[in-house]
């Protein structure tokens, strides 16, 4: 039996000057279909409180396969359309997977070249 590790994506989408309202409206069309996608645990569209042109699209998925299937779905065509229609100034897209505390400590130690020390209990 395979293990399903939750994964997520975050896309920071910056509108071209004067196109933020249009960008938000078009991105909002992703919300309900994405929430109904197989394996979607959570999906959100957020608008920056400090930068009127910045939007955040985030999704949490039950597995890598569920997220990959979503990325291959027709819903994702909206990003290509936004770029082609010159609505988007920039798109910064990242995917993430959950890690255990031990994995995070191990990666931190590898990055810093120092051994991991545990606090006495």
Angle, helices 77-84/20-28, rounded to nearest 10 degrees:
160
> Per CATH, which fold does 7-112 belong to?
Alpha-Beta Plaits (3.30.70)
Q: What pLDDT tens digit does each residue of the chain (121 aa) get?
A: 446 789 999 999 999 999 999 999 999 999 999 999 999 999 999 999 999 999 999 999 999 999 999 999 998 899 999 999 999 999 999 999 987 655 556 555 555 555 444 444 3
Domain residue spans in the chain? 7-112
**Three-state SS at 17:** coil
Q: What are phi and psi of 64, to 5 degrees?
A: -60, -40
Cα gap 1→5, rounded to integer Å: 13
73: left (phi over 0), alpha (psi -120 to 50) or beta: beta
């Amino acid at each position: 039996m395979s293990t399903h590790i939750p994964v997520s994506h975050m896309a920071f989408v910056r509108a071209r000057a004067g196109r933020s309202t249009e960008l938000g409206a078009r991105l909002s069309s992703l919300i309900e279909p994405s929430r109904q996608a197989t394996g979607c645990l959570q999906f959100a569209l957020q608008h920056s409180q400090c930068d009127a042109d910045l939007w955040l699209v985030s999704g949490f998925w039950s597995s890598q396969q569920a997220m990959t299937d979503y990325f291959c779905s027709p819903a994702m065509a909206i990003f290509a359309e936004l770029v082609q229609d010159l609505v988007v100034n920039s798109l910064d897209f990242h995917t993430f997977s959950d890690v255990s505390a031990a994995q995070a400590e191990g990666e931190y130690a590898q990055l810093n070249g120092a051994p991991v020390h545990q606090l006495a209990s």
